[in-house]
């Protein structure tokens, strides 16, 4: 089967996608500068699958090295995960975010053009729906205004990809809008390894349960939602990864641009998921209620019908699975990939 390049593939979502692609029979090449990941994830992917992959430690923006990679291989499809993703950091360092996220996209597109690679799958985010659209979000809706530079990089990269596909009718561009990916591989061998203090809810909850952090602050319990805390569409990272395998199959058979939400369609509140984590794992997550966090929307969840209809993809894992697998990863790797 054909060779798939995972740009930024050593990270959280890329590593899980590599496992699913290898298990399906694809050849996998990962290019990553490890700025937010570890080479250990590569050996763990090989351990889980019993398959080898090719790893290039390089910055995607280094076009000389990227071209050498394209020359040495026969890539059919690129999956573009490479980017910075911390929302709060993007507000303080917008130029760094625009520079890295937009430049990686442009370098990949230039190389693809030069080496005649026609298929690209892009990691976008539900954040592009902005605050104007009502939930559940569907792909027909116009993009809204983002609350931070990270979100704007995603909206801009979607535009760049759409314009590129318009100019070259032989291309296939698949934009995947992720909702809230959490959990870890069921083996506990790969998972999310945040550097420093995690920004996202579930890594914070797991670090609190294991004692790395003293408590979790739940941001706001005065929203107009059933229990006052925000609602989100949490999706198991393995289900998300399987969505990429379906997207690869689709991209290889079709041309043009398609956008797909990857979510479960089921909203859960912050309190609900924290309580589920405690219950299924028999642990306590010390938590306090604090003020709202700037930029948070009360409610964000997907209409996931399009991915089901056109990709034949639907989620299989439950909220309990997500909590159980995250805890397994946290217990087996209390310091992430660090020794
Ligand atoms: P991650 O940080 O774990 O993975 C991204 C990888 O890209 C890292 O391994 C990092 O080292 C690499 N990278 C960044 N810039 C690079 C560069 N210039 N050259 C080479 N490698 C580079 O993040 P993730 O959670 O796996 O997310 C993957 C993609 O999905 C990102 O684009 C992210 O914005 C997007 N996304 C993530 C979420 C989420 O909740 N995790 C939600 C929506 C969208
Ligand atoms: C955020 C980003 C989104 C990005 C995603 C993955 C915003 C508005 N959205 O989504 O663009 O794609 O991360 O990186 O920033 N929470 C707490 N306490 C915590 C952390 C979070 O109560 O310590 C709450 C938040 O208020 C939110 C929910 O948990 O209601 C989920 O938060 P988080 O995991 O950060 O994801 P999002 O904010 O949904």
pLDDT in tens, 271-283: 999 999 999 999 9
Residues labelled catalytic:
150
Closest ligand 1 atom, residue 154 Cα:
34
**Predicted TM-score (pTM) of this structure:** 0.98
CA–CA dist 10, 25 (Å, integer): 19
CA–CA dist 299, 164 (Å, integer): 33
Q: How confident is the model at residue 196 (pLDDT cuts 50, 70, 90)?
A: confident
> How far from chain centre, in Å, is Cα 24?
20
Tell me: the pLDDT tens digits for 76-126?
999 999 999 999 999 999 999 999 999 999 999 999 999 999 999 999 999
CA of 87 to the centre of ligand 2 (A): 9
CA angle at 212 for the pair 211 and 213, rounded to the nearest 5°:
90
Q: Check whether 259 has a pLDDT greater than 90.
A: yes
Q: How confident is the model at residue 195 (pLDDT cuts 50, 70, 90)?
A: confident
pLDDT value at residue 319 = 98
- Find, among 129, 107, 134, 109, the residue nearest to 119 by Cα: 109
Nearest ligand to the CA of 193 is 1
Closest ligand 1 atom, residue 36 Cα:
11
Q: Check whether 71 has a pLDDT greater than 90.
A: yes
List, chain by chain if needed, residues with CB within 6 Å of any ligand 2 atom. Answer: 85, 87, 125, 127, 147, 151, 180, 199-201, 204, 216-219, 230, 232, 270, 293, 295-296
CA–CA dist 201, 276 (Å, integer): 13
CA angle at 146 for the pair 225 and 218, rounded to the nearest 5°:
40
Q: Yes or no: say if 162 and 121 are a contact pair by the CB < 8 Å rule.
A: no
Q: Check whether 171 has a pLDDT greater than 90.
A: yes
pLDDT value at residue 339 = 77
Q: Check whether 1 has a pLDDT greater than 80.
A: no
User: How many percent of the chain have pLDDT more than 90?
Assistant: 97
- Ligand 1 proximity of 178 Cβ (cutoff 6 Å): yes
Those residues whose C-beta lies under 8 Å from the C-beta of residue 203, and which sit 6 or more positions away, are 192, 194
Strands 172-178 and 256-262: parallel
Q: Count CB-CB contacts under 10 A for residue 101.
A: 22
Supply the mean pLDDT for the chain.
97
Closest ligand 2 atom, residue 86 Cα:
14
């Amino acid at each position: 089967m054909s060779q798939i390049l995972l740009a930024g593939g050593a990270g959280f979502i890329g590593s899980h996608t590599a496992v699913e692609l290898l298990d399906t029979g694809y050849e996998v090449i990962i290019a990553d500068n490890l700025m937010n990941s570890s080479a250990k994830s590569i050996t763990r992917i090989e351990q889980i699958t019993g398959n080898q992959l090719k790893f290039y430690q390089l910055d995607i923006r280094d076009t000389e090295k990227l071209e050498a990679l394209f020359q040495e291989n026969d890539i059919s499809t690129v999956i573009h995960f490479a980017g910075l993703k911390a929302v709060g950091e993007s507000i303080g360092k917008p130029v760094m975010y625009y520079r890295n996220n937009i430049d990686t996209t442009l370098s990949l597109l230039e190389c693809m053009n030069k080496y005649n690679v026609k298929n690209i799958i892009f990691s976008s985010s539900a954040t592009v729906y902005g605050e104007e659209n009502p939930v559940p979000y569907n792909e027909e809706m116009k993009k809204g205004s983002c609350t931070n530079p990270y979100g704007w990089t995603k909206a801009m990269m979607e535009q760049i990809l759409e314009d590129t596909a318009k100019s070259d009718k032989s291309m296939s561009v698949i934009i995947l809008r992720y909702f809230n990916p959490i959990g870890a591989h069921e083996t506990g061998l790969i998972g999310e390894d945040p550097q420093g203090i995690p920004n996202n809810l579930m890594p914070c909850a797991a670090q609190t349960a294991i004692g790395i952090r003293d408590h979790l602050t739940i941001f706001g319990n005065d929203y107009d939602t059933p229990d006052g805390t925000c609602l989100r569409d949490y999706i198991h990272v393995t289900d998300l990864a399987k969505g990429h395998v379906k997207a690869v199959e689709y991209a290889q058979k079709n041309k043009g641009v398609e956008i797909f939400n990857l979510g479960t369609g089921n909203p859960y509140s912050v309190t609900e998921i924290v309580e589920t984590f405690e219950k299924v794992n028999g642990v306590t997550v010390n938590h306090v209620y604090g003020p709202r966090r700037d930029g948070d929307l009360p409610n964000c969840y997907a209409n996931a019908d399009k991915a089901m209809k056109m990709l034949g993809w639907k989620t299989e894992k439950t909220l309990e699975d997500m909590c159980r697998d995250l805890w397994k990863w946290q217990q087996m790797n209390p310091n992430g990939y660090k020794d």
